[in-house]
Amino acid sequence: MFKFFEGLVDPYSNYQENDNPPQKLWPFLRSFAYEFRWVFAITGFLSICIAFFEVWLISYMGRLIDLLDGEPIEVWGSHAAEFIIVAIVILTLRPIVYVAQFALLNNTILVNFPTMIRYRAHRHVLRQSIGWFENDFAGRIANRIMQAPPAAGEVAFQTFDAMTFAVAYVIGAAYLLADADARLLIPLSFWLFPYIALLVWVVKRAGPAAEASSNSRSRVTARVVDSYTNIHSVKLFAHHGKEVDYAQEAIEDARQTFIREMRLLTIMDLVLMVLNGLLIVGVVGFAMYLWFGALASVGVVAAATALALRLNAMSGWIMWATSSFFRELGVVREGMMTISQPITLTDKPTSQTLVAGKGEITLQGLSHHYGRKTGGLDNIDLVVKPGEKVGLVGRSGAGKSTLLKLLLRFYDAESGRILIDGQGISEVSQDSLRQTIGMVQQDNSLLHRSVRENILYGRPDATEDDMIRATKEAQAHDFILDLEDAEGNKGYDARVGERGVKLSGGQRQRIAIARVLLKDAPILLLDEATSALDSEVEAAIQDTLYGLMEGKTVIAIAHRLSTIAQMDRIVVMDQGRVVEDGSHDELLALGGIYARLWQHQSGGFIGESA
């Protein structure tokens, strides 16, 4: 039975990805609810049925009391069939309806609806550009991805478990009282309208309060995760107290927002207690008044009493469920600040797969300033021939890293074009572009997974022999065999810690190089690829890199000029422009910026004052 209900909706079903998700709350929720439309409809119908079952039971209790006001034998003889039918309904049909509604709520909606939202939200966020991630806290992004889906599930749950049931129940209760004596609607109305007014008052404040509370919790998570992620800096500068104070500020803000939210609920409970007292006294007292005047039977008094007590018990639950409904909507609305942001760096509908050729790279009038007036690149024209090795040199801020980011299409250039083998990179899919390029960075953070998983990230379908061959070429195989993590995993199965913190900088770099070796892409980008290695290992890796470069188009950034002196060409950048271009010997003979950098470098590195 469980598998049937759990499998009614597949949370991982194929869907049309939307680069511009709805920015308003209800269209946003509807975009996820389409696959659940029949489940929601049936669950709502069953909720109404349950409410009427409950009202009918109270009504029948009143009838039963009236019927029992006679001789037992006569009552049984006249109504035995009726009693048996009612018993059968209570023992069979009622449980079936209840169980079906519970299973749809608990095993279909609560299990699959939040899962679908979290899965699709994660897919959407992963499609955002590098720049998008650079403008937010990873902790806050993750917190919203984790909080919003269960909140949306709770919204769906409360809709059918409480709100639909409550509306149907109140309608049924009003009908029951009117059927007994229409005058009983008077005390019910004296309770119902103030109750609705209280509900509206709570709802108007619950959503904003919950949104503020959720936002403050996200801020706490962001600050705490920021401290944990940078724990080496915290310890290095002995700023334990500073980080505690930094977190405490956000924690206290979260406490204050939660205080305001809880005050709201306390006021609600106080007013509700007074209203429910009026309900019980009004309905039961008026029913008794009618009985004293011989205008109502004992059964009517019993049914009215039971109904009033039931509404008294339900009113707090309905109020809590409704306020919870709007609180969770506030959490969803706060999560939408991340989940529903449009994708700004997209593939064109007509984009094709990049056809990898010999690896020619052409930059035409390329400019990018990150939306500012200065910095970045300014009108770059450059051609890197197939198989050519180009060193990229320049002081910090010259635009070297920006050039590589644009080549990988981490950003769209503000003007100009980049072509690979004659194909504009904005005209091809991002995935096919990046599959054609291998890159080793200065700081290669690894995934918190095993060494094997990190290396196979370069080519998931590679064989074990291929992987080991790559690690040997990267001078990494021997130290990998000696690794062991806290769970006892050894060698290639050992986990490397978050961002690879369990490894030294040189070890991380060698694993990153092994990953790119395994990828074997026709274009290779090196951004200070050996900066984290000691001299002995660097010499060995340099030989590996030179072997890796064979037959590939290479662009290498290095501050240690000796590492790129043997390149076919060296391109010198300054203030976002190409200012010199030639071989090492040609640039030295030119006596320009490169020659001065070569003469003034300290320990083989470019000096800032050169």
Query: Which residues of the chain are in CATH 1.20.1560.10 domains?
Result: 18-206+261-339
Report whether pLDDT(606) > 60.
no
Helix (H) or strand (E) holding 153: helix 138-158
Closest CA to 4 of 96, 104, 102: 104
How do residues 17-69 score in pLDDT, each as one tens digit?
Answer: 888 999 888 889 888 888 899 999 999 999 888 888 888 887 777 777 777 77
Q: Is the pLDDT of residue 165 over 50?
A: yes
Q: Strand, helix or coil at 384?
A: strand
Position 79 pLDDT exceeds 80: no
Q: Calculate the alpha carbon distances from 12 to 36, 113, 378, 456, 491 in Å.
A: 13, 11, 45, 25, 34
Cα–Cα distance, 108 to 4 (Å, whole number): 9
pLDDT band at 601 (very low <50, low <70, confident <90, very high): low
Q: Report whether pLDDT(603) > 50.
A: no
CB 376 within 8 A of CB 325: no
Indicate if the pLDDT at residue 604 is higher than 70.
Answer: no
How far is it, in rounded angstroms, from Cα 280 to Cα 277?
5
pLDDT (0 to 100) of residue 81: 87
Listed in sequence order, the residues at least 6 apart from 479 whose beta carbon sits closer than 8 Å to its beta carbon are: 507, 510
- Which range has highest mean pLDDT (191-200, 291-300, 516-525)? 516-525
Which of 244-253, 295-304, 381-390, 528-537 shows the lowest mean pLDDT across its residues? Answer: 528-537
Taking a C-beta distance cutoff of 8 angstroms, is the pair 564, 388 a contact? Answer: no
Domain span(s) for CATH 3.40.50.300 in the chain:
353-436+524-530+553-610, 442-520
Tokens of 83: 């009693």
Answer with the residue of higher pLDDT: 479 or 562. Answer: 479
- Residue-level pLDDT at 572: 93
Cα–Cα dist 402/371, whole Å = 13
Task: Look at residue 602 in the predicted model and tell me its pLDDT.
Answer: 46
Average pLDDT over residues 275-304: 78
8-state DSSP, 174: H
DSSP string, 408-440: TTSS--SEEEEEETTEEGGGB-HHHHHHTEEEE
Return the structure tokens found at 134.
């650079």
In this prediction, residue 197 carries a pLDDT of 86
Tens digits of residue pLDDT in 416-429: 999 999 999 999 99
**Residues 265-301: b if buried by 16+ CB within 10 A, e if exposed:** beebeebbeebbeebbebbbebbeebeeeeebbebbb
Instruction: Kindly tell me if the per-residue pLDDT of 89 is higher than 60.
Output: yes
- One-letter amino acid of 202: V
pLDDT bracket for residue 609 (50, 70, 90)? very low
Question: Which residues partner with 566 through β-bridges?
Answer: none
Across the range 126-136, mean pLDDT stands at 85
Q: Kindly indicate the confidence band of residue 285, based on its pLDDT and cuts at 50, 70 and 90.
A: confident
pLDDT grade for 463, boundaries at 50, 70 and 90: very high
Q: Above 80 in pLDDT, residue 597?
A: yes
pLDDT at 512 over 90: no
* Residue 453 burial class via C-beta count within 10 angstroms: exposed 0-12, middle 13-18, buried 19 and up: middle
Nearest in space to 153 (alpha carbons), one of 111, 186, 198:
111
What pLDDT score was predicted for residue 580?
Answer: 92
At 247-266, the pLDDT tens digits run 898 899 889 888 888 888 78
Rounded mean pLDDT of 317-344?
Answer: 82
Pairing, β 389-393 against β 569-574: parallel
Q: Is the pLDDT of residue 605 over 60?
A: no
- For the segment 71-84, the average pLDDT, to the nearest whole number, is 79
What rounded mean pLDDT belongs to the chain?
Answer: 84
- pLDDT for residue 388: 92
Question: What percentage of the chain carries pLDDT values higher than 70?
Answer: 95
Look at the block and give the residue holding tokens 């920015």.
23
| pLDDT value at 533 more than 70 | no
CA distances from 388 to 145, 252, 420 (A): 44, 58, 13
Contacts 24+ apart (CB under 8 A), 373-382: 375/399, 375/576, 376/402, 376/576, 377/402, 377/403, 377/406, 377/413, 377/576, 377/577, 378/575, 378/576, 378/577, 379/416, 379/577, 380/416, 380/576, 380/577, 380/578, 381/578, 382/571, 382/578, 382/581
What does the pLDDT read at residue 536?
66
User: What stretches of 509-600 adopt beta strand conformation (E)?
Assistant: 523-527, 553-557, 569-574, 577-582
Rounded to an integer, what distance in angstroms lies between the CA atom of residue 355 and that of residue 429? 11
CATH 3.40.50.300 fits 353-436+524-530+553-610, yes or no: yes
Residues recorded for the chain: 610
pLDDT of residue 523: 93
* pLDDT at 496 (0 to 100): 87
For residue 100, the model assigns a pLDDT of 92
Looking at domain 18-206+261-339, its CATH superfamily turns out to be ABC transporter type 1, transmembrane domain (1.20.1560.10)
Quick check: 610 pLDDT over 60? no
Residue with tokens 């899919």: 429
The pLDDT score that the predictor gives to residue 534 is 65
**Cα separation, 516 vs 526, whole angstroms:** 10
| pLDDT value for 445 | 77
pLDDT at position 608? 45
pLDDT for 535 equals 67
**Angle, CA 204 vertex, CA 202 and CA 206 arms, to 5°:** 60
Write out the CATH class of domain 442-520. alpha beta
Cα end-to-end span (Å), the chain: 75
Give the per-residue pLDDT at 531.
Answer: 63
Q: Using the predicted structure, report yes or no on whether residue 135 has a pLDDT greater than 60.
A: yes
Question: For the chain, how long is the longest CA-to-CA vector?
Answer: 124
Q: Specify whether the CB–CB gap between 132 and 344 falls below 8 A.
A: yes
Model confidence at 532, pLDDT cuts 50, 70, 90, reads low
Per-residue confidence band for 274, with pLDDT thresholds at 50, 70 and 90? confident
Sheet holding 553-557, edge to edge: 437-440, 523-527, 553-557, 389-393, 569-574, 577-582
User: What is the pLDDT, as a whole number, of residue 307?
Assistant: 76
Q: Does the model's pTM come out above 0.75?
A: yes
Instruction: Please tell me the predicted confidence (pLDDT) of residue 555.
Output: 93
Which among 342, 339, 330, 131 has a CA at the least distance from the CA of 217? 330
Question: pLDDT for 546-579, tens place per residue?
Answer: 767 888 899 998 777 777 878 899 999 998 899 9
What confidence category does residue 537 fall into, taking pLDDT thresholds of 50, 70 and 90?
A: low
Please give the pLDDT value at position 428. Answer: 92
